[in-house]
Structure 1
Amino acid sequence: MASPSVLKTVLSLRIFTLLALAASVVLMGLNNFKDDDGSKTKFTDLIAYRYVIASGVIGFLYTLIQIPFAIYNVIKEKRWIRNGFLQEFDFYGDKVMAFLLASGVGVGFGVAFELKRAFDEVFNDKAKKFLDMGNISTGLLLVGFVFMALLTILSSNRHSSSAKNGFFI
């Protein structure tokens, strides 16, 4: 069983992850502009930004599902479901989410960097601000990824210290 300080750290990291991902999704969802000719550009016009918001939403939902279990774990100092399922779910789920968030970060920064580099002279201030807002949203996704990466370390530690009959053992 993990110490109370580790359990509180896990809960705190899950809450910080949730907040960072929520902010990322909201900022990307609000990312649009109207050009001088009246045409509107939204985040959905770039497939890469759709991927960024999708990875943020999936990570947000996963973290939202995990928080009640983490709260119970902190309060009772035991797992809600005691057959080892939650420990395995934490172990594998945290890793999958970390990889998903990392790929979203790469896509978000990559598309903004490439578009700015290739079309910097063509873009007006509104388009540049659109890409900057995408970078800010992706930066928040990066913060969520860092918190999730820390959670993978903790879930790996907790998994290896009590692994008896794991998935592949």
Structure 2
Amino acid sequence: MANSKKSIANSTLVLRIFTLIILAASVVVMATDNFKLSDGSKTSFKDIIAYRFVITTGVIGFVYTTLQLPFAIYYVCTEKRLDCLPEFDFYGDKIISFLLATGVGAGFAVTHELKRIIQSIFDDYEGLDEQESKTISFLNRGYIATGILFAGFICMAILSILSSINRNERKGFFG
């Protein structure tokens, strides 16, 4: 049983570190997603509300994971938990997981729709190749940032399962 507890603690720490890195990467990719047209106008993630939501969910997940990281390190080193921590992990991981899932859904849906609309607009007009390529590249980076956020969601969903196991072990449901 102690070996199982140690492996869950180690897995939790590794997943929290991966989640932190992945969410940071998603935020950086989305924050640097912009382009400037020949007429001087600039478009960035701030111009699309769903992209602002994607970056906000990434930042919230990053802050939560940063808050949880010292507790995960302490748990791996000492194999002891604070009394309230399993409950906090259980509910916090689930809430953040669902929040990241909504960010992923919004990012993919809006990018898909905008790409479809943009391509139909550019099909109607000739001579806009530079604008089309920059716009499509901008939307592709939105896909990339959202895909990275999806990886963060997967890590957080696995953490949610592990926190459920930790909580149930503490209450005596397993063994």
TM-score by length of 1: 0.92
Once residues 12 and 63 of structure 1 are traced to their aligned partners in structure 2, the CA distance between those partners, rounded to angstroms, is 12
Superposition deviation, residue 118 in structure 1: 2.0
Q: Which residue of 1 aligns with 2:31?
A: 29
Superposition deviation, residue 163 in structure 1: 2.4
Once residues 42 and 121 of structure 2 are traced to their aligned partners in structure 1, the CA distance between those partners, rounded to angstroms, is 17
* Residue 104 (structure 2) pairs with residue 96 (structure 1): no
Q: Which residue of 2 aligns with 1:6?
A: 8
Counterpart AA for 2:97 = A
The structure where helix makes up a greater share of residues is 2
Once residues 53 and 138 of structure 2 are traced to their aligned partners in structure 1, the CA distance between those partners, rounded to angstroms, is 16
Q: Which residue of 2 aligns with 1:131?
A: 139
Superposition deviation, residue 56 in structure 1: 0.1
Superposition deviation, residue 125 in structure 1: 0.4
Q: Which residue of 2 aligns with 1:167?
A: none
Once residues 158 and 75 of structure 1 are traced to their aligned partners in structure 2, the CA distance between those partners, rounded to angstroms, is 16
Q: State the structure with more CA Rg.
A: 2
Superposition deviation, residue 149 in structure 1: 0.3
Once residues 157 and 23 of structure 2 are traced to their aligned partners in structure 1, the CA distance between those partners, rounded to angstroms, is 14
Q: Which residue of 2 aligns with 1:62?
A: 64
Counterpart AA for 1:16 = F
Once residues 63 and 35 of structure 2 are traced to their aligned partners in structure 1, the CA distance between those partners, rounded to angstroms, is 28
Runs of 4+ in 1 over 6 A off after TM superposition: none
* Residue 114 (structure 2) pairs with residue 112 (structure 1): no
**In percent, how many aligned pairs have the same letter?**
55
Once residues 134 and 28 of structure 1 are traced to their aligned partners in structure 2, the CA distance between those partners, rounded to angstroms, is 6
Q: Which runs of 5+ in 2 are unaligned?
A: 123-131
Counterpart AA for 1:31 = D
Superposition deviation, residue 59 in structure 1: 0.2
What SS does structure 2 have at the residue aligned with 1:38?
coil
TM-score by length of 2: 0.89
Superposition deviation, residue 121 in structure 1: 3.5
Match of 1:49 among 35, 48, 51: 51
Once residues 36 and 145 of structure 2 are traced to their aligned partners in structure 1, the CA distance between those partners, rounded to angstroms, is 19
Q: Which runs of 5+ in 1 are unaligned?
A: 165-169
Once residues 6 and 156 of structure 1 are traced to their aligned partners in structure 2, the CA distance between those partners, rounded to angstroms, is 11
What SS does structure 2 have at the residue aligned with 1:108?
helix
Once residues 163 and 115 of structure 1 are traced to their aligned partners in structure 2, the CA distance between those partners, rounded to angstroms, is 48
RMSD: 1.2
